[in-house]
Amino acid sequence: MLNRLIVFFITVSAATAQITDSPLINEILKNFKPEFPNIFSAPDKYKLQIIYTQVNRDRNNVPELETYTYRLKPREYFYPASTIKFPIAVLAMEKLNSIENVDQYTSLNILTEIPGLEGVLEDKTSRTGLPSIAHYIHKLFVVSDNDASNRLYEFLGRDYLHQRLWDLGYTETRIRHRLDIALSEKQNRYTSPFRFFHDGSIIYEQPSQKAKIDLDVNYNDYLIGKAHMKNGNRIEQPFDFSKKNFMSLMEQQYFLIQVMFPETAPEDKQLNLTEDDYKFLYGKMSLLPRESKYPLYEDNDHYYDSYCKFFMFGDTKERIPDHIRIYNKVGLAHGFLVDNAYVVDVKNKVEFFLSAVLYVNQNETLNDNTYEYNEISIPFLAALGNAVYRFELKRVKDVLPDLTRFEIGNK
């Protein structure tokens, strides 16, 4: 079963892959298709893709995985938005293990050297008042903080980030730029210098880096829409995403599976993370805004439980039950809505992986901030998550899973 998953992953990453919809996923979708007739009558228009992976356990609690897909198109472009923060966070944790005497809690400074990039000397939202890799990862997952992700992007450097992803087998991924900051392609090649401190003394310095690898365009259909806004002007041409980030839905889910179940990766594709590293990541990935102490997110009307949890709960501001934990990363930008999640219900012994992308842009104009997230895509992902969850509640398993490994980490 494990080998089948690995072979499947390699197959769907191929440019010529022709993926047939799984009958099982069509059966699950049938129950809520009437709620979204426009989407299911024109899935190409909405660029809908779904991947659902079942988890079955043997008597030793070893996971066996079976994957089902709907309209999977590995080379069809969609903007991944904040979902690319997930590999950035994980690889930042991994890189720390190659630096002597530095860990995720070590205080750091980011210097000002590159025009357009600001330095960082303090972070008043952290427990210590100083920035650290741990605090950036915390904010990245809990509220999808863009600046935190950008700082980790700088810590990694673009060449290091891609070479490591490609070595791990994620050869289709391209992370070209920071988020929510207007920088040129040249500026995004550069990073600022880092200094790590202990007891006031510098223990490690990382100089500014320049990315030398030219990233090719390895996806299709990257001209999207009929018009776009630029500097307040309407341009009657599609928006060109060829210089934007990309991570296919299959590579996103497989990376999530690798993090949650490290044993599924081939021996030569293992992440260099310790058991404590994984526990730290699991804690941050599932943490809700109300569970965070540093920073303290007191505005529950804005930072509600489902702020970054679209599956099952995206269409409500009610509390997520304590027995359900969602380890995920969402993305929302340019009309695209993405969620990549491992859902766990410790009370009912339910677990599954679910990844989906949906595009909504009725006026077919990009960058005008007029997208139907609340009306269409967020309710859709919530309904999709609930449909799969209801199916999992009824699914008979030979062995019930032991889910105690997935606990809440430090807050």
Q: Residue 367: which region, alpha, beta or left (left: phi > 0; alpha: psi -120 to 50)?
A: left
pTM value > 0.75:
yes
pLDDT digits (tens, 9 = 90+) for 356-382: 999 999 999 999 999 999 999 999 999
For the chain, which residues make up each domain, given as ranges? 2-394
- Rounded CA separation 21/356 (Å): 14
Q: What's the one-letter identity of residue 242?
A: S
Q: Please say if the pLDDT value at position 61 is more than 80.
A: yes
Per the CB < 8 A criterion, the answer to whether 55 and 63 are in contact is yes
Among 16-30, 187-201, 251-265, the range scoring the smallest mean pLDDT is 16-30
pLDDT of the residue at 140:
98
What is the per-residue DSSP string for 249-317? Answer: HHHHHHHHHHHH-GGGS-GGG-----HHHHHHHHHHHH--GGG--SS----TTTS-GGGG--TTTTT--
- Rounded CA separation 370/362 (Å): 9
pLDDT of the residue at 23:
95
pLDDT digits (tens, 9 = 90+) for 81-95: 999 999 999 999 999
Residue with more model confidence, 6 or 242: 242
pLDDT band at 408 (very low <50, low <70, confident <90, very high): low
pLDDT of the residue at 219:
81
Q: What's the one-letter identity of residue 296?
A: L
Q: Please say if the pLDDT value at position 411 is more than 80.
A: no
CATH architecture designation of domain 2-394: 3-Layer(aba) Sandwich (3.40)
pLDDT digits (tens, 9 = 90+) for 213-225: 999 988 888 999 9
pLDDT band at 11 (very low <50, low <70, confident <90, very high): very low
User: How confident is the model over 314-331, as a mean pLDDT?
Assistant: 97
Per DSSP, which regions of 151-200 are E strands? 194-198
pLDDT of the residue at 6:
43
Query: Is the preceding omega at residue 379 within 30 degrees of 0, hence cis?
Result: no
**Pairing assessment for the beta strands 365-366 and 239-240 based on DSSP bridges:** unpaired
pLDDT of the residue at 18:
53
pLDDT digits (tens, 9 = 90+) for 288-302: 999 999 999 999 899
Residue with more model confidence, 343 or 14: 343
pLDDT band at 192 (very low <50, low <70, confident <90, very high): very high
pLDDT of the residue at 76:
95
Mean pLDDT of the chain: 93
Percent of the chain whose predicted confidence (pLDDT) is above 70:
94
Per the CB < 8 A criterion, the answer to whether 326 and 343 are in contact is yes
